[in-house]
Structure formats: structure tokens, C-alpha cells
A and B are shown apart, each in its own frame.
Chain A
Amino acid sequence: MQGESTEYFVDPQSIEEMTRLLSQGRLLTEALGLLATRGNSFEGINTVLDIACGPGEWVHAVAKENPSIQVKGIDISQTMTNYARAQAYNARLKNLVFEVVDATKLPLAIPDSSFDLVNARLISAFMTRSLWPLLIREAYRITAPSGHLRIIQEDLRNNTNSPAVARYNRLANQALYKAGKGFEPDYMAVIPRLRNWFADAGYKDVQQRHTTFDLDYGTHGHDIAIADYKAILPAFHPFLVKYGICSMEEANSLYQQFLQETDFVTRPDGSKEPFVCFWHISSVIGQKI
């Protein structure tokens, strides 16, 4: 659709991006479990597909914990797919395969009703406004009868006392909106739409669960979040500049401000307070009945 770009906002082949996604994925899995819903049970599931699997942290864990399940991960990045394959081979996981696939090119070369569980975590980086309902409909086609689709999404609405992080959120949302990825200029607004898309595609018994991660200074999540920000923010600058949101100089200056606020934030009166940030994500699951 005009004005929409499926371009990933950073280089998907970079090792930095891969390791960032690894840490982020592990944080998600540690906090939510592998499935987050259905009591984290894989009972009755024989085949799993992970769309945009990245370095394969989730599929690797699913395959390892459920050796009888056939698991497949697809991703556009050759770097990440090679890494995931090397990991799987090293771990001698025979029930796990990977394929380089661009999930924005629909229909996917996958037969109808192929998977008991179709999964996608944090895919908004390449999704566009028009692509969301189309991908969910495509997921419905490849979901087996009685199977499920599970999507985890964030809308870039972190609550924080860090002026730099707050500004980055605003700038990122503006750029993503211009790129056709978000529905509002100040946040993605995908989460409120997911249940309806699931229903429109034909999924029943759609359940949604919201989770808030505490990324405050001193928490386990803080270390991961700061490392994540340090990896993604500089890489994101060209995207901001491309969409005219700010100059590279302004972006670099903002990053230097962020580095001053990673642990303690300066109050208006000059005193310091610990960094506070909440990361909100939503998990939606629906069944093909």
C-alpha cells in the first residue's frame, strides 16, 4: 500500500541486532513462559511455526522441551537463520528446521492447515497497517483445525521517567507512523486491534493477556533493557533521519543524553532519582474451530 514500508528499521543481517533479539526473547520467555496462555501447555500440539523467528531462541526452547513436536522457524535474515541452524545442530535438535522466508510476501509457500500452533512475537518492526490483517488471515489458512495463532505485540508506549527514552519513543512512533507501520503518530495502536483481526480471520475463543515488565534500575530487566536500548537506538537513527523526524546530529545528541540517564535521571531541581520504565506487551491467542 502506498506510503507503507515493510523495511526493517535496522539491518536484519547484523550480529548486533541478532544478539539484541536473543536477549529480548529470553526476557520474554523467562517472564511469560513459552506459551503464556493455555497454562503454557503444548498438549495436543504436534507442529509449530514461528514467523520471524529471528535467532531462534523461542523455537529452540520449544523444540528442546518438546522433542515430539516438529518445529519450524522462518525469518528474512540469513544471518539469524544460519545462527539458529548452527545452534540447533550443536544441540542435536532433530525436530527443528529453519527457512529464510520474507513473511511480508503473501501467500506463504505453506500448505493449508499445516501447523497446530502459529506463533509470532514482536513483529511490528516490519509489519504495516495493511499487512496486519492479511498476515493474520494467512496464519488462519495455515493453522490446522483446532490449532492456534499466538501473537505477542508491543505498542511502544513505555512509561518512563527518562526524558531521553520518552523522547525516543515519540520520535520512533512518528517515524513508524510515517513508514506506514503504526496507526497513530504517538503510539503503534496495534494491540487494541488484534482481537478484532483475529475474529475477522475466523479465530474463535480469542483471549488477550497484558503483561507489564518492570525495567527499573536495580531489576534484572533493567540490565537487559539498557543493553537493548544501547544496541537498537544508534542503529535506529538512520530510520529517524530517513523519515525527516530529526537530524543525525539531534539523534546522536539524544543518545548521549540517554547514556546519562541509564541508571539515574536528573529531576528538574537537579537531584537524582533511579531510572524507571515499564514495558507493556500483549499476548493474544485464538483458535481455529
Chain B
Amino acid sequence: MVPSAFYADIAPLPIPLVNHLFQSYLRRFESSHDALYTMLQEIEEKRRQTYLYMDSFVRNRKTSDAPHELRFTPQWIRETLGLYHPDKRPIHRNTYNHWQQAGFIRRENNEKGKPEPDDAAALFILRMLLPGQRKILPDSMDPAEVWYCAVQQAPGEPISNIPISELGNQPRHAIAFTPWSGATWRGWQSVGRDQGAISFAGMRQEEDSTHYHLSIDDILLWRPDLGRYYHPKRGRHNDSVQALARLALTLLADEKI
């Protein structure tokens, strides 16, 4: 089993998938330490590659006039995963349906025909890490299993790893960060081109923008130096808070990721 201290490092893979993957590394290495270390390095590499490839397709998914082949769809998943299938052919529709029923590919916002991008990313990473292998998944997975992120509630507080589904239960001023750049698809702020993502817990994704539900004090808790930039003119308080929230996250990313 992968130690829980590493849960945030393996995003976007849910724990059951990583433990399943880890077994193949343990078979390759005599030392469990070497197996873990190598797996973490290789996950990091494939994660970055997966994000870089998927990003444009995922961002095009909500664009109704985008050509079908340029959008993230079930067919796109089947064809792209097929590049790595030992037979070099698209994943069969029945196999895809089975993966859905088994809990590996969930629906984004429970919408039919709209797969969750993080789940597809996890499958791609697994597929690339298990070349030549036909069966890359365990028999099933609880659909409640999600990937983990790192969270810190206040400066100086310990950093803990939590399931992404529990981020909404955190204080709004808590910051969350992850090496998984695909979190930007949920409205998180990107760190570099592909180095991860960061967000305040008090965040809501609205269409193509991110809105932070924060007070100025929430931001100054982390970056008191930004107080000198807060001089909102009448009616512009929210604009100032949003801008400073983004700046604070950019500065905090240098420390956290």
C-alpha cells in the first residue's frame, strides 16, 4: 500500500488505482523503497505529459461548434487510449461502458455522455505506465474514490492530504495545492505551464472564470504584504479582492509547489 503521506503526490490517481499500480512496481524491484520512489517519479512524468496533451481537448469540450475530434468525449477517450493498447486499436465500446459501471469513469456533473476529465487522465497515466499490459485496472472501484490534494488552513498550520471531494468542507481561506495541472479544469489557478495548480477553498467556477468567496482579511492572513494594494474605490471592492486573491495564490505557489 502506498503510504498516506504520498496521497497528494499521486494526483489525479485515486488511491485504489495507485495501490493497484504499485503492485506492478513491487514485482519489478527488490526494494519497496525503490519501487515507490520510481513509481512516484514516473507518475510525475506521465502526469505532466497527460495534462499537456489533454488540456486543449478538455477546454474545447463545452464549445458546441468545436469539431467532434477536437473535443474531449467518450469517443476521444476510447481512441486516444487505444494508441497504447497492445493491439493499437480504440478501446471497445463495451469495455468503456464496463469501466463506467465499475466506477473508473464517472460523469462530469452527472451529465450523460460527459466523462469526468480527471478520471480519463488517471486512465491515461495508468495506460502509459503499464505498456503492453492488457488489464490495467482492478475489478472495480468505489465511485466515491477521488484524488487527493494538499491543504493548509492557515500559515504555520500543518499540511494535510484530503480527498478533493472534501475541499468544500474546508474554511474558505484554506489553500489547496496539487501537482496535477488538470485541477485548472475545475477553476484552480495554474502554476507555471504544467507544474500544478493552487486555489483557495472558497472558490467557485463560473463558466470560464473563477470566483473567490473571500474577504480581504482571508487574503491578508496569508499575504499581509498585499494590504498596501487594497484601496478599493466605491463599487470596486470585489474586483480588488479577486485580483489580490489571484496574486496571493501566485506568490504562495512559489512556496508550496
Contact B49 A90 (CB under 8 A): no
Contact A86 to B128, CB < 8 A, known contacts A15-B53, A18-B53: no
Q: How many residues of B contact A (CB 8 A)?
A: 20
**Closest-CB distance, B191 to chain A (whole angstroms):** 16
Contact A19 to B60, CB < 8 A, known contacts A13-B83, A86-B70, A89-B70: no
Contact B56 A86 (CB under 8 A): yes
Contact A79 B83 (CB under 8 A): yes
For the complex, give the distance between the alpha carbons of A280 and B99 in Å. 48
Contact B60 A90 (CB under 8 A): yes
Set of chain A residues within 8 Å of B60, measured between Cβ atoms: 86, 89-90
**Closest-CB distance, A278 to chain B (whole angstroms):** 25
Q: Is B48 an interface residue (CB 8 A)?
A: yes
Q: Is A87 an interface residue (CB 8 A)?
A: yes
For the complex, give the distance between the alpha carbons of A227 and B194 in Å. 14
**Closest-CB distance, A228 to chain B (whole angstroms):** 12
- The 8 A CB mask of A197-211 against B (1 = contact, 0 = none) is 000000000000000
* Chain A, residue nearest B52 (CB): A19
Q: Is A82 an interface residue (CB 8 A)?
A: yes
Set of chain A residues within 8 Å of B206, measured between Cβ atoms: none
* Chain A, residue nearest B83 (CB): A13
Contact B53 A87 (CB under 8 A): no
The residues in B between 80 and 127 inclusive whose CB is less than 8 angstroms from any CB of A are 80, 83-84, 124
Q: Is A7 an interface residue (CB 8 A)?
A: no
Q: Is B235 an interface residue (CB 8 A)?
A: no
Q: Is A85 an interface residue (CB 8 A)?
A: yes
Q: Is B251 an interface residue (CB 8 A)?
A: no
For the complex, give the distance between the alpha carbons of A60 and B60 in Å. 17
The A interface is mostly helix, strand or loop, or mixed, namely: helix
- The 8 A CB mask of B36-67 against A (1 = contact, 0 = none) is 00000000010011101100110110010011
Contact A83 B48 (CB under 8 A): no
**Closest-CB distance, B106 to chain A (whole angstroms):** 22
Q: Is A35 an interface residue (CB 8 A)?
A: no
The B interface is mostly helix, strand or loop, or mixed, namely: helix
Q: Is A230 an interface residue (CB 8 A)?
A: yes
Q: Is B255 an interface residue (CB 8 A)?
A: no
**Closest-CB distance, A70 to chain B (whole angstroms):** 19
Contact A82 B69 (CB under 8 A): yes
Contact A89 B52 (CB under 8 A): no
- The 8 A CB mask of A109-136 against B (1 = contact, 0 = none) is 0000000000000000000000000000
Set of chain B residues within 8 Å of A86, measured between Cβ atoms: 56-57, 60, 70
**Closest-CB distance, A108 to chain B (whole angstroms):** 23
For the complex, give the distance between the alpha carbons of A18 and B84 in Å. 14
Set of chain B residues within 8 Å of A85, measured between Cβ atoms: 67, 69-70
**Closest-CB distance, A154 to chain B (whole angstroms):** 23
- The 8 A CB mask of A222-261 against B (1 = contact, 0 = none) is 0000010011000000000000000000000000000000
Contact B67 A89 (CB under 8 A): yes
Contact residue among A15, A79, A87 (Cβ-Cβ distance under 8 Å from B50):
A15
Q: Is A41 an interface residue (CB 8 A)?
A: no
* Chain A, residue nearest B67 (CB): A89
Contact B128 A16 (CB under 8 A): yes
The residues in A between 5 and 28 inclusive whose CB is less than 8 angstroms from any CB of B are 13-16, 18-19, 22
Contact B45 A87 (CB under 8 A): no
The residues in B between 221 and 244 inclusive whose CB is less than 8 angstroms from any CB of A are none
Contact B52 A22 (CB under 8 A): yes
Contact A19 to B59, CB < 8 A, known contacts A82-B69, A86-B70, A230-B45: no
* Chain B, residue nearest A90 (CB): B56
Contact A82 B70 (CB under 8 A): yes
Set of chain B residues within 8 Å of A15, measured between Cβ atoms: 49-50, 52-53, 83, 124, 128
* Chain A, residue nearest B65 (CB): A89
Could you jot down 14 A-B contacts, CB within 8 Å? A15-B49, A15-B124, A19-B48, A19-B52, A19-B53, A82-B70, A83-B56, A86-B60, A87-B56, A89-B66, A89-B67, A89-B70, A90-B56, A90-B60
A interface with B by C-beta (< 8 Å): 13-16, 18-19, 22, 79, 82-83, 85-87, 89-90, 227, 230-231
Q: A14-B84, A86-B56, A89-B66 are in contact. List 15 more A-B contacts (CB 8 A).
A: A15-B53, A15-B124, A18-B49, A18-B53, A19-B49, A19-B53, A82-B69, A83-B53, A83-B56, A85-B69, A86-B70, A89-B70, A90-B56, A90-B59, A231-B45
